[in-house]
Amino acid sequence: MIEMTAEPVLRLEGVDKDFSQANSILGSIKNRVLGRDVEQLHAVDDVSLTLRRGEVQGIIGESGCGKTTLLKTIAGLHEPSKGDIIYRGENITEYTTKEWKEYRKNVQIIFQDPFNSLDPKYPVKEALAEPLKIHDVDDIEDRVVNVLKDVKLDPPERYLDRYPDELSGGEKQRVAIARALVLDPDLILADEPVSMLDVSTQAAILEDLNDITTQQDVSMLYISHDLSTVSYICDRVNVMYLGRIVESSETRDLLDEPLHPYTQELMAAIPVPDPFAERERTQIQGNPANPIGLPGGCRFKDRCVERMDICDTTPNDIETNDQTEHQVACHLHYDHTATDDVAVSANGGDGHE
């Protein structure tokens, strides 16, 4: 159940993450001393979202859109360049060391690649006991056995002493999920958790993640490049392009009526398991630009088939459907004739000047 009224588990407000382009510490000191203005790489640009208790939200976009950087910033692996990350009402950038430890217990990551995220020298029970030891939790054995049941590695005795290379891809990912769950977190950050798995296993893992978030009241951010899996796990979907969220809505509403041309292309590019279907191939060319020194305006304009003159002005989010809080940042959905309600930045700047 998603609790609408209670305090959200996570709230992002205008989060930016920039990376310095200098390729060494010396280089960056030199630039600073010489007063050189080096263009920053804007990996994450003004991202805001609210994740409620028990809610699963997807962040979907191409390689290089900044989705993994956003996840790492939330996890505390990067420091945000701007904006606030509010976890249960507190800004994580103001945390003390002790508070960080508590945060790391409550917020867990599942990585994309189960083949590399488990230590090959640790049997399953050690891999699962390790986080419990670090956080001084009691009943280690009971907890390990129970969490294995939760992720359907049942009976647990069969798996406790196995090493990662004695597990299939799906079983490895289940152990990785168990490791994230064993500390009883309230937020899970999942980075493409099924993309490396065979499709026969993918459905089962999605179903389990769904059960876990529902039954244990855990919130989750689910990162993927593939919109075809979001309906199985996400309550809400955010589409990200070059660091910005360009569209956000309840999953079903977004899939039924995608508004941003980029979301439409992302859906159209997915192959359909039907040889009789006549699908048109994507019209977008090439890759997204590098997020360095980008001009103002819509980030997608250079690849957009609907491009207009006004697209040189940065579009703000507008809400098209308050039932589903369907928001889109695209000029196609503005009423540009209504002069007193122009939802665009006044001078066309992109907020970074």
Q: How far is the CB of 269 from another protein (least distance, A)?
A: 4
SS3 for the chain, per residue? CCCCCCCCCEEEEEEEEEECCCCCHHHHHHHHHCCCCCCCEEEEEEEEEEECCCCEEEEECCCCCCHHHHHHHHHCCCCCCEEEEEECCEEHHHCCHHHHHHHHHHEEEECCCCCCCCCCCCCHHHHHHHHHHHCCCCCHHHHHHHHHHHCCCCCHHHCCCCCHHHCCHHHHHHHHHHHHHCCCCCEEEEECCCCCCCHHHHHHHHHHHHHHHHHCCCEEEEEECCHHHHHHCCCEEEEEECCEEEEEEEHHHHHHCCCCHHHHHHHHCCCCCCCCCCCCCCCCCCCCCCCECCCCCCCCHHHCCCCCHHHHCCECCEEEECCCCEEECCHHHCCCCCHHHCCECCCCCCCCC
Q: Work out whether 229 is an interface residue with another protein (CB under 8 A).
A: yes
x/- letters, 46..65, toward another protein (CB under 8 A): ----------------xxx-
Closer of 1 and 199 to another protein (Cβ)? 199
Q: Work out whether 266 is an interface residue with another protein (CB under 8 A).
A: yes
Contacting residue, 126, 226, 312, 317, with another protein by CB under 8 A: 226
x/- letters, 267..286, toward another protein (CB under 8 A): x-xxxxxxxxx-x-xx-xxx
Contacting residue, 81, 106, 231, 320, with another protein by CB under 8 A: 231
Q: Work out whether 322 is an interface residue with another protein (CB under 8 A).
A: no
x/- letters, 167..206, toward another protein (CB under 8 A): -xxx---------------------------xxx-xxx-x
Closer of 72 and 225 to another protein (Cβ)? 225
Q: Work out whether 302 is an interface residue with another protein (CB under 8 A).
A: no
Q: Work out whether 91 is an interface residue with another protein (CB under 8 A).
A: no
Q: Work out whether 23 is an interface residue with another protein (CB under 8 A).
A: no
Residues that bind another protein (CB under 8 A): 62-64, 168-170, 198-200, 202-204, 206-207, 225-229, 231-232, 251-252, 255, 265-267, 269-277, 279, 281-282, 284-287
